[in-house]
Amino acid sequence: MSRSPLSCQYFACECASGTPKGREQRISGISDLDWLHQEMLPLRNAAGGDDESPWLTSRKGINPRTRQQQLFDLRRFHGISHYKNGSSSAIDCPGELLVEQHHSYYGEPWAGGRDVFDFLATSVSLQPGHRVLEIGCGTLRAGLHFIRFLELSHFFCLERDSLSLAAALLYELPANGLLHKRPFLIHGDDLQNTAALLDGPPFDLIYSSAVFLHMADAAVWKTVSVMAMRLAAPHGRLYVSHNIKFCTRLSGRVCGARLREAGLEYVGQQTHDSLLFNHFEVWFEFKRRSKQL
């Protein structure tokens, strides 16, 4: 499959012909980056350089505090205007979520979720009416961007960690104004026992970021076989990040045979760079195997 030149690959299509009229631009365009750099010029001395201490210094405010100090105060209502006879909040959100401790669950910057969306949305020419499934969505680091872009109830997720899903439901969706999008966030780890993912139209995109690294090969193959059956043909795509050792640990012949048996065809490997920090990620692309092969 041919790819766009690097200069256009991650920046929608603005560099070719501008954002299509009437279509929401999915990712930052080159003109957006030019504007950003121009706006940062007068701030360069304050934000640049190797001195990290300014970023760690409290700013002026009502009561500047670190995350740990905020959490301590939230638990005791210290310095916080509150109702003494019980909360009037519609959502009882734990303090740990309010100070966004969960943004550090995964060992990489939270902003990397936007990179995942940018890359995958561009690679499959994602449309609002497409259906997307993420295996292992965590607290919606990437999923938030898909939910925001897609139509109502077009994002699906299977996640085994209950606390991650709770963080997504209690904090991320309401805080980002996305409760009305009604995504399907399903607690579990077995696609074959999840009716909501097995029924209905096929998926235009299925992806899994770093999840297969933590699964036994037999479990991965079982999951891959189910995902293959749920991919739309011929345009649907499956993307797996980091590596595919569940396949490459086998000989090339055996690996190919297992993929054919699962109903998949390997398309190729791609690498995308982060927009915000020095990081790249490797993705492996698959599609439904043609019946003629």
pLDDT tens digits for 255-271? 889 889 989 999 999 99
How confident is the model at residue 62, as a pLDDT?
A: 61
How confident is the model at residue 40, as a pLDDT?
A: 83
pTM: 0.82
Give how many domains the chain has, as a whole number.
Answer: 1
Tokens 């965590």 locate to: 138
Task: Indicate whether 56 belongs to any domain.
Answer: no
Task: Indicate whether 185 belongs to any domain.
Answer: yes
User: Any idea what the CATH number is for the domain that residue 228 is in?
Assistant: 3.40.50.150
Residue 174 sits in which domain range? 112-288
How confident is the model at residue 210, as a pLDDT?
A: 82
Task: Indicate whether 277 belongs to any domain.
Answer: yes
Long-range interactions of 84-92: CB distance < 8 A, separation 24+: 91/170, 91/174, 92/170
* Three-class SS state of 258: helix
How confident is the model at residue 172, as a pLDDT?
A: 96
Task: Indicate whether 160 belongs to any domain.
Answer: yes
Task: Give strand ranges (E) for the chain.
Answer: 132-135, 155-159, 184-187, 205-208, 237-241, 264-273, 280-288
Task: Indicate whether 171 belongs to any domain.
Answer: yes
Q: DSSP letter string over 88-126?
A: --SS---HHHHTTGGGGTTSS-TTHHHHHHHHHHHHTT-
Task: Indicate whether 89 belongs to any domain.
Answer: no
Element at 260 (helix H, strand E): helix 252-262
Round to whole Å and give the CA distance between 164 and 187. 10
Task: Indicate whether 4 belongs to any domain.
Answer: no
How confident is the model at residue 214, as a pLDDT?
A: 76
Round to whole Å and give the CA distance between 128 and 238. 18
How confident is the model at residue 2, as a pLDDT?
A: 36
How confident is the model at residue 16, as a pLDDT?
A: 33
Task: Indicate whether 117 belongs to any domain.
Answer: yes
How confident is the model at residue 20, as a pLDDT?
A: 38
Contact, 281 vs 241, CB < 8 A? yes
| Residue whose C-alpha is closest to residue 284's, from 241, 248, 246 | 241
Tens digit of pLDDT per residue, the chain (293 long)?
333 333 333 333 333 333 333 345 457 788 888 988 888 888 877 766 667 777 667 666 666 778 888 888 888 876 677 777 777 788 888 888 988 988 987 778 899 999 999 999 999 999 999 999 999 999 999 999 999 999 999 999 999 889 999 999 999 999 999 999 999 999 987 776 677 788 889 999 999 988 887 788 888 888 888 889 999 999 999 999 988 888 888 878 888 898 899 899 999 999 989 988 888 999 999 999 876 55
